[in-house]
Amino acid sequence: MLFGIRLVGDFGTANTIQRYGALAEQNGLDFVWVSHDLFKISSWVALTAVACATKRVKLGNTILNPYSCDPSELSTYITTLDELSNGRVVVGLSAGHPRFLQWVGIDAKKPLTRTKETVEILRKLFRGERVKYDGQEFHWTDQAYLRYKPFRNEIPIYIGGSGDKFLQYAGEAGDGVLPILFPPEYIDHTMKQIRVGATKAGRNLADLDIAGCVWFSVSEEGGVAEDALRALIAYYGPGIQEFRLNSIGLTRKDMEPIGEAVKASGVEAGKKLVTDKMMGLAIHGTPDECIGKIEKLGGKGVTHVALGAPLGPDPEKAIELIGRKIMPYFRDRTS
């Protein structure tokens, strides 16, 4: 089992994210992911800061989208950071959430098509090719090419998502998969769809890194870990699709009062409405409790957990607990 952390702009500053990324490396984690969200701290700058403070961990964004940024810009960012980090970059890519894209007037009409075309274009650019391209979403001339040699010609692309078509495409074409597993119970359906895509492409599922993105909070005092998640669930929970909520017996209607409270009065008002049942959207508790939940995901086919903010009431302590108390359990079992 590989371990990564997902750091978000809610931590406050790029300097804080850089410090947490360095701490993750010091505690033996394998990946540092930085969330890419509209109107939050730039994941590009923050991940570059992490690259400058580390030497070993792999680096990725969760999740870049080809709507708020064109693949021509994505390609230069990705390849430049890959050179700066000595070949440690992986690409987290999906279509972005329609709810947030609508904030800026973007109507994502063909999200899967746009994502597929972006993957094709990026791989050509990484290989140093001219990308004369006439697709449904992109129309490029033969002047579309990188004016420098990329550090690597093949940079792994992890395809994210939660809908069936995206998960199948990830199994078909991704070097890795970033399935959204909040709640973790969505894993059975997720793996079924990834397997459909892999089988269609004649691929072995064992060749894919299935990096499950989970909401996560750990503390040696389990109840405190739960409290740290409420604001996160209040902010993002109303945007979770019906089919994911259904896997733990929730519906969009259950989340509507929280969304209305956040819109009217802010996150503090919304988090007061988060119920115990809604806490099932995340993995939380003591290190031992979290180990049991992560182990269940591993038994279902997850090869990599991308543990997402808030991590715990004390993020630095949480990163240390992951490295000192959670990871050794899995490392000892595979040694």
Q: What pLDDT, in 10s, does the model give residues 208-249?
A: 999 999 999 999 987 888 877 999 899 889 989 899 999 999
* DSSP assignment string, 167-192: HHHHHHH-SEEEEB-SSGGGHHHHHH
Let me know: does 145 contact 131? Beta carbons within 8 Å.
Answer: yes
DSSP 326: I
Task: Identify the burial level of 317 via C-beta atoms within 10 angstroms of its C-beta, where 0-12 means exposed, 13-18 middle and 19 or more buried.
Answer: middle
Q: Which of 226, 258, 264, 267 is nearest to 239 (CA)?
A: 258
Q: What three-state secondary structure class fits 123?
A: helix
Which domain does 291 fall in, by range? 2-62+156-226+282-334
Any domain includes 287: yes
Any domain includes 192: yes
Q: What is the pTM of this model?
A: 0.93
Residue 103 binned pLDDT confidence (cut-offs 50, 70, 90): confident
pLDDT of the residue at 132: 97
Distance separating alpha carbons of residues 223 and 329, to the nearest angstrom: 22
Any domain includes 172: yes
pLDDT at residue 327 above 70?
yes
Number of domains in the chain: 1
Any domain includes 20: yes
pLDDT at residue 290 above 80?
yes
Q: What is the pLDDT of residues 138-190, one digit of tens each?
A: 999 999 999 999 999 999 999 998 899 999 999 999 999 999 999 999 999 99
Any domain includes 81: no
Considering only residues 241 and 76, tell me which one the structure prediction assigns the higher pLDDT. 76
Let me know: does 11 contact 335? Beta carbons within 8 Å.
Answer: no
Any domain includes 133: no
| CATH number, domain containing residue 166 | 3.20.20.30
Any domain includes 51: yes
Any domain includes 307: yes
